[in-house]
């Protein structure tokens, strides 16, 4: 049986992407990717539980992707992080942010940015299982799973 190739590898192949050292990416670049992949994980998990109206899906998704939820998840998974993961999270959290969330404090927004940077880093590093493990642990610890 042929082994399935991951989405990241398919994207790299199809779009002829060059190899880059993701450690050189800014925390905001990692958070940009992390925001998208985290939302894709949440959207996928919601729709895989059954067909619903788009309005219902959007409302449910919003509970999971808002800055307050991501900040709470980040707080509750700290002891699970490796030293490298904790460093990526801190870089994202401590970066100079030029915007703010509409319905979150700056502290929550910074923690959410750190969490997204971590998700982006893990995704771009091909560590999807670890990313999903941390997302699942965070959701359980904030009692959304």
Buried b (16+ CB within 10 A) or exposed e, 93-110: bebebeeebeebeeebbb
Strands (E), 15-131: none
d(CA 71, CA 12): 31
Q: 35 catalytic, yes or no?
A: yes
The structure tokens listed for 85 are 């993961």
3-state secondary structure of 84: helix
Selected catalytic residue, list 16, 21, 35, 75: 35
Active site residues: 35
């Amino acid at each position: 049986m042929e082994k399935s190739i991951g989405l990241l590898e398919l994207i790299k192949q199809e779009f002829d992407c060059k190899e880059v050292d993701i450690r050189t990416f800014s925390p905001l670049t990692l958070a940009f990717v992390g925001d998208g992949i985290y939302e894709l994980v949440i959207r996928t998990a919601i729709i895989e539980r059954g067909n619903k109206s788009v309005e219902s899906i959007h409302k449910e998704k919003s509970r999971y992707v808002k800055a307050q939820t991501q900040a709470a998840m980040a707080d509750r998974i700290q002891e699970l992080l490796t030293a490298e993961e904790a460093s990526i999270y801190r870089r994202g959290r401590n970066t100079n942010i030029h915007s703010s969330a509409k319905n979150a404090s700056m502290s929550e927004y910074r923690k959410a940015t750190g969490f997204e940077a971590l998700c982006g880093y893990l995704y771009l590093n091909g560590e999807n299982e670890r990313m999903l493990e941390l997302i699942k642990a965070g959701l359980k610890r904030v009692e959304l799973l």
